[in-house]
C-alpha cells in the first residue's frame, strides 16, 4: 500500500458497529468532554474509581491568523 493510499485509508470513518481498531484513527475528544466521560465511568455506580488517573496526549495549535513580527534586541 502506497503512503497516499494508506493516508486515504486512515481518513475513513468506520460505518459498521464492529471494526478493527488498529486500522482506524483513535477518536478525538475535547478535553472537557474526555474528562466528563471519565467522571461518568469512574462514578461509584460504574467503576467506583474516583481517584483514577487520566492520561492524555495533547495537540496544541500554535498557528496564528495574523503575522507577527518579532524584534529581538
Q: Is the pTM of this model over 0.75?
A: no
Q: CA 16 → CA 19, 51, 69, distances in Å?
A: 7, 34, 49
Using pLDDT thresholds of 50, 70 and 90, give the confidence band for residue 32.
Answer: very high
Question: Is residue 35 predicted with pLDDT exceeding 80?
Answer: yes
Rounded average pLDDT over 48-71? 80
Using pLDDT thresholds of 50, 70 and 90, give the confidence band for residue 36.
Answer: very high
What grid cell was written down for 26? 483513535
What pLDDT is stored for residue 73 in this prediction? 66
Residue-range domain boundaries for the chain: 3-42
Q: CA 18 → CA 6, 8, 11, 22, 56, distances in Å?
A: 21, 20, 17, 12, 25
Amino acid at each position: 500500500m502506497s503512503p497516499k493510499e494508506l493516508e486515504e485509508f486512515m481518513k475513513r470513518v468506520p460505518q459498521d458497529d464492529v471494526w478493527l481498531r488498529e486500522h482506524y484513527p483513535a477518536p478525538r475528544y475535547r478535553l472537557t468532554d474526555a474528562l466528563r466521560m471519565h467522571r461518568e465511568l469512574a462514578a461509584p455506580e460504574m467503576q467506583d474509581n474516583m481517584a483514577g488517573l487520566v492520561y492524555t496526549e495533547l495537540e496544541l495549535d500554535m498557528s496564528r491568523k495574523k503575522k507577527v513580527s518579532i524584534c529581538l534586541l
